[in-house]
Amino acid sequence: MVELTKRQMEIVNAAIKVIAELGYMKLTTKNLAKEMGVTDAALYKHFASKKELIRMILCYFEQVSCSIIEKLNNSNLSGLGRIRGFVMNRYEIFCEEPDLARVMFSEELFLNDPSLEEKMLSIMHIHRDVVMGFIRKGQQEDEIRPELNPMHIFRMVVGSMRLLVNQWNMSRHAFDLKAEGKALLEEIIKLIEVQNETSDDQDR
């Protein structure tokens, strides 16, 4: 994982804003320099190409992801608690940085560029392995139904999150993403968690 300098972070944030507002094709040195209020020449020493700049954006997203993953792995939370923590953190980040939500789900960033696709796929695999680890932990702790396939649960949890964020982006943030996200996640948890018998059932 590459650590970004303060100046690189400023460039990344400006690039994210340009892509979100104008589109990927409008991410030019001229538009980026205008957004930052600097000259074109001042940017060249920080990145060699548009491709490298997109890679910097992906590195930033990777840093954000690994930060919450580390906190969850070092916590005393149960498997389900860690799943909740990971998913709700995604919603919180996207609410705080709506431009990032639009950019990270923009497939044109990686179109016809295998190296960028590979980088994004690597980040997605990190998420997959981490969340599936949380799921298996929940199954071992008798929180999550053991007969369910962890990969299928992962796709339910993360796939529904991606769909909801896309709907939020397309509606121009017409609904409360965190509230809807929490409600959706809790419905999925009802489907996958081990159902404890009620006292009435036990008395029969």
Each residue's pLDDT tens digit in the chain (204 positions)? 567 788 888 888 999 999 898 888 888 888 998 899 888 777 777 777 888 888 888 888 888 888 999 999 999 999 999 999 999 999 999 999 999 998 888 777 777 788 888 888 898 899 999 999 999 999 999 999 999 999 999 999 999 999 999 999 999 999 999 999 999 999 999 999 998 765 345 444
CA–CA distances in Å: residue 20 to residues 57, 141, 162, 190 = 13, 42, 17, 35
Return the structure tokens found at 32: 């980026």
Count CB atoms within 10 A of the CB of residue 74.
8
Report the candidate in 124, 150, 120, 123 with the shortest Cα–Cα distance to residue 137.
Answer: 150
Report the run of H or E that residue 165 belongs to, with start and end.
helix 150-170
Look up the pTM and report it. Answer: 0.85
